[in-house]
Structure 1
Amino acid sequence: MLVAVGVLAAGLTGCATGTSGEREAADRVQRVAEELGEELTPRVWRERDAEWLAATHVSRAAPADRTEWTPEVVTVDAIAWSGSTTDEDGAQIDARIRVDVAAGDDGDYWGSSAFGPGTATACFRYLVFRGPRPEVVPEKIDCPADAIGPAPVASPLPALPEDAEEILAAVLVAATEGSLEHDVRAAFPEDFISVDTGASGGELIAAVGVPGERECTVGVRDAAGGVYFAWYDRTWIEPGELGCTTSIVTSPPL
């Protein structure tokens, strides 16, 4: 849930045209819904489940277009979620948006449009696919009559351990060419971690990574027994490229 409070200041003077507070609040609900769609629009190729998206983005949705002239409170709740961005139907997230506005004035240099206090609530559905794709567009839906359940929880994303280089260096120092693959896999047993090993010109090479997160570390034990970590261009581990493999060292792109 996000609650954002605007700042109250003196209104502008001019010819008031009169706008209801409910109408003003409803307009702001729509703006929040569109901003949330922009927030959910994927910028990179990543797999994410709907609960992670709901917890990470819906709970932190930006408030509507607040101005110093209009106090308001914006509340955004994730009310339902299912699926993943890699599913055929995408990750589905339903959100409820409520805006409360106090009496204010949308005036500008040419005049003003005063309105009274008002409240508006609406619910929207978002379908998110693994991107990059066109902007996620909110679809207005009926709000459920039931009370909102527990808030979504973002599970930790798969990642290499923070001390991955230290772990890999220790394995490379102790391993032989015959034991390298087994030793590296034993040190990084998680299913989401990829392992690729090899030997070339007296060097032992090991690459460990999390392909879905574009994370990769490549360690090399040179012929003299020293260990270093290879530099690579990040584009080399993108889908369709080398990936997190020993080829980063043995056969880098020209």
Structure 2
Amino acid sequence: MAHPHRPRRRLGAATLACAAVALCLVSAGCGEYRDGDSMARNDAAAEAKSLNESLGHRSRARDAEYVAATEILDADGGTSIVRREPLAWSGRITGDEQATIDVRFVATVQESSGTNFGNLGNSAGQATRCYRYRLQLYRYTSFEEIDCPSVATPPVPTAAPVPTLPDDAHDRLTAALRTATPDTLANRVRAAFPEKHVTVDTTTHENALVAAVGVPAERDCLLLVRTPGGAIESPGYDRVWLEPGEMGCRTGLYVSPPR
């Protein structure tokens, strides 16, 4: 027995609407582009926050210009290119002093047709935002948005060399120890290191000659010992002892190390 013909089911309006939306998402052919200028503003703000996190906790004495020259760099961000421009800097990161650096962020967003699934595309856009960073020794960097000054061509910061031990420090100290006596030790080591930023500490210990030379602000330290037999040795020590509040670059690293 033949079944009676069943009438076709008619598609409802809701079903048709869902199909249209799905087709729109796949083809990205409908809907307005996202605003490129708004995207650029968000990218500039995100880059400013990223720089603040990068500057982070300050544990070295530096002047503001050094930081601006070595740590404020151009960077790519998301769908845009964000250019970092140091505008002004002042102060030092040392003691209770505070350094400030003003940075301009110029973000550019390229137009996108939105051919990928779920991407409605965006218009081209650009935004400029400025922020002031405050840096202090042994504190985390803070920042705030400021009005952008009318600076067409910002100045270029330069970084003065950071004081360090000379490259031949080991050879200098070895030579001084080889020819020194307990009475001439201090003068010979200081003569080998006339640089004002280099500290010198010497002593005798159980017929050994001990000398420590360093740049405390940089936790840079060279410790050598001339044993009673005449050998030059480099005793190990925990570098934590060079940190502020610890022993520092002193002969005590060998003679009376912390326990």
Give the TM-score range, shorter chain. Answer: 0.7 to 0.9
Give, as a single letter, the amino acid of the residue that structure 2 aligns with 1:80.
A
Structure 2: unaligned runs, 5 residues or longer:
1-25
Q: 8 Å contact 2:165–2:198 — kept in the other structure?
A: yes
The match for 1:90 among 85, 98, 122 is 98
Deviations 1:181-202 (A, max 9, x none): 1111111122221110000111
Gaps of 5+ in 1: 1-11
TM-score, with length taken from structure 1: 0.85
Shift of 1:207: 0.2
* Deviation of 1:167 (Å): 0.9
* Partner in structure 1 of residue 240 of structure 2: 235
The structure whose residues are more often helix, as a share, is 2
Structure with more relative contact order (C-alpha pairs < 8 Å, separation 6 or more): 1
How big is the alpha-carbon RMSD for the aligned residues of Structure 1 and Structure 2? 2.1
SS of 1:205's equivalent?
A: strand
What letter matches 1:47 in structure 2?
A
Taking the aligned partners of 1:106 and 1:246, their CA distance within structure 2 comes to: 67
* Contact map agreement 2:85 2:154 (CA 8 A) in 1: no
Deviation readout 1:201-227 (Å, 9 max, x if unpaired): 111000001111111111111111111
Asked if 1:124 is matched to 2:139, the reply is: no
Residue-by-residue CA offset, 1:145-204 (whole Å, 9 max, x unaligned): 133343101111110012211110011001111111111111112222111000011110
- 1:40 equivalenced with 2:40 (yes/no): no
Aligned equivalent of 2:143, options 138, 156, 166:
138
Asked whether 1:148 is paired with 2:162, we answer no
Query: Is the counterpart of residue 179 in structure 1 residue 184 in structure 2?
Result: yes
| 1:195 to 1:107, Cα distance in 2 relative to 1, 3 A | farther
1:87 and 1:124, CA in 2 relative to 1: closer, same or farther beyond 3 A? farther
Q: Distance in 1 between matches of 2:198 and 2:120?
A: 59
Q: Summarize the Cα distance change of 1:147–1:217 in structure 2 as closer, same or farther, 3 Å threshold.
A: same
Cα distance in 2, alignment partners of residues 49 and 123 from structure 1: 21
2:96/2:137 contact within 8 Å kept: no
- What SS does the corresponding residue of 2:142 show, helix, strand or coil? coil
* Residue equivalent to 1:194: 199
Aligned residue in 2 for 1:168: 173
Structure with max Cα Rg: 2
Query: When the two structures are superposed, what TM-score results if normalisation uses the length of structure 2?
Result: 0.83
The alpha carbon displacement at 1:61 in A equals: 4.8
Change (3 A) 1:105 1:57: farther
| Superposition deviation, residue 75 in structure 1 | 1.2
Percent of paired sites with the same residue: 40
- Name the counterpart of 1:49: 63
How many aligned positions are there?
234
Kindly provide the amino acid, as one letter, of the partner of residue 230 in structure 1: P
